[in-house]
């Protein structure tokens, strides 16, 4: 079997920045075990698979815009929501399949999502907002992070609010403690010291099977509502402080969050198996 594959860096202002995602268009769905093996072989934070065929349980959508069924796999598991691989998939469809479209719709495990063309060659994703709620901090996890923590919150991920950007940039967590946790991942965030950036973050995976994700769009659907409440404004800029780094522009709109960023295409090839 031969399949097309694209690798696109999402939330990237230049080469070798942002989060690389593999995008693999399919005519029909393969067995889930094969999808998981392909994602493991690609060995990126996420591989996105999509088809033009929608499942029978897909809700109504706007017939004026192209619609696809989209799924995301880490090397270990299928996930319910992924930002950077959604942005990468939309970029590939906009450029290669629907160059005249201004919106792409995706049916996913998180319902309908859409991606619009934004200004200056950016793409804007419409995601569900997930404000994190306060929760008790586990002292063992705090010790594994190795930095002072002001608050602990919980949404899809555990969210720890740190004292400073410097603490987040310099931290070296104990993955032996984090990796076995029964939570998708851990977000550590703090206010930014840099003009033009409101908050910074890093994301460490547990059940998702990813040690550190370069730029995590779905984490921003959790921390953007938090920082919007703290800072008193709905338009925010987040910077993820991984080794590659990446910038996510956030607009909190009630129960939705618009996440936008640039992208860079890296490769196109053929998978044979």
pLDDT tens digits for range 115-129: 999 999 999 999 999
Residues 151 and 121 in one domain: no
148-199 pLDDT per residue, tens: 999 999 999 999 999 999 999 999 999 999 999 999 999 999 999 999 999 9
54-110 pLDDT per residue, tens: 999 998 999 999 999 999 999 999 999 999 999 999 999 999 999 999 999 999 999
Residues 121 and 144 in one domain: no
Residues 142 and 57 in one domain: no
Residues 48 and 108 in one domain: yes
- Domain ranges, residue 75: 2-128+261-272
Let me know: does 69 contact 51? Beta carbons within 8 Å.
Answer: yes
Residues 46 and 66 in one domain: yes
Q: What confidence tier does 114 reach under pLDDT thresholds 50, 70, 90?
A: very high
How many residues are present in the chain? 273
Residues 17 and 85 in one domain: yes
Residues 227 and 141 in one domain: yes
Domain count, the chain: 2
Residues 14 and 82 in one domain: yes
12-60 pLDDT per residue, tens: 999 999 999 999 999 999 999 999 999 999 999 999 999 999 999 998 9
CA dist 119 and 135 (Å) reads: 38
Residues 85 and 23 in one domain: yes
> pLDDT value at position 20?
98
218-256 pLDDT per residue, tens: 999 999 999 999 999 999 999 999 999 999 999 999 999
Alpha-carbon torsion angle 72, 75, 78, 80, nearest 10: -60
Residues 94 and 161 in one domain: no
Residues 208 and 265 in one domain: no
Give the CATH number, domain containing residue 190. 3.10.310.10
3-state secondary structure the chain: CEEEEEEEEECCCCCCCCEEEEEEECCCCCCHHHHHHHHHHHCCCEEEEEECCCCCCCCCCCCCCCEEEEEEECCCCEECCCCHHHHHHHHHHHHHCCCCCCEEEEEECCEEEEEEECHHHCEEEEEECCCCEECCCCHHHHHHHCCCEEEEEECCCEEEEECCHHHHHHCCCCHHHHCCCCCCEEEEEEECCCCCCCEEEEEEECCCCCCEECCCHHHHHHHHHHHHHHHCCCEEEEEECCCCCEEEEEEEECCEEEEEECEEEEEEEEEEC
Catalytic positions = 46
In order of 83, 132, 193, the CA distances from 45 in angstroms are 11, 23, 28
Residues 185 and 93 in one domain: no
> pLDDT value at position 23?
99
CA dist 133 and 153 (Å) reads: 5
């Amino acid at each position: 079997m031969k399949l097309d594959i694209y690798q696109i860096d999402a939330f990237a202002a230049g080469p070798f920045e942002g989060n690389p995602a593999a995008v693999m268009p399919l005519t029909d769905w393969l067995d889930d075990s094969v999808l998981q093996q392909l994602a493991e072989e690609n060995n990126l934070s996420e591989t996105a698979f999509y088809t033009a065929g929608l499942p029978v349980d897909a809700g109504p959508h706007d017939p004026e815009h192209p619609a696809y069924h989209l799924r995301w796999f880490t090397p270990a598991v299928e996930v319910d929501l992924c930002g950077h691989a959604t942005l990468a998939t939309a970029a590939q469809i906009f450029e290669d399949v629907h160059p005249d479209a201004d919106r792409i719709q995706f049916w996913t495990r998180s319902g309908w999502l859409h991606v619009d063309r934004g200004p200056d060659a950016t793409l804007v994703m419409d995601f569900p907002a997930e404000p994190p709620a306060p929760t008790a901090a586990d002292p063992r996890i705090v010790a594994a992070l190795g930095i002072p923590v002001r608050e602990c919150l919980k949404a899809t991920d555990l969210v720890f609010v740190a004292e400073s950007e410097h603490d987040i940039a310099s931290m070296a967590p104990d993955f032996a403690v984090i990796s076995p946790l029964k939570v998708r991942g851990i977000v550590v965030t703090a206010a930014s010291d840099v003009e033009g950036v409101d908050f910074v973050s890093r994301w460490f995976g547990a059940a998702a099977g990813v040690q550190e994700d370069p730029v995590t769009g779905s984490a921003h659907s959790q921390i953007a509502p938090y920082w919007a409440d703290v800072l008193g404004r709905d338009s925010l800029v987040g910077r993820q402080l991984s080794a590659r780094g990446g910038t996510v522009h956030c607009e909190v709109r009630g129960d939705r969050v618009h996440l936008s960023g640039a992208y860079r295409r890296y490769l196109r090839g053929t998978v044979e198996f």
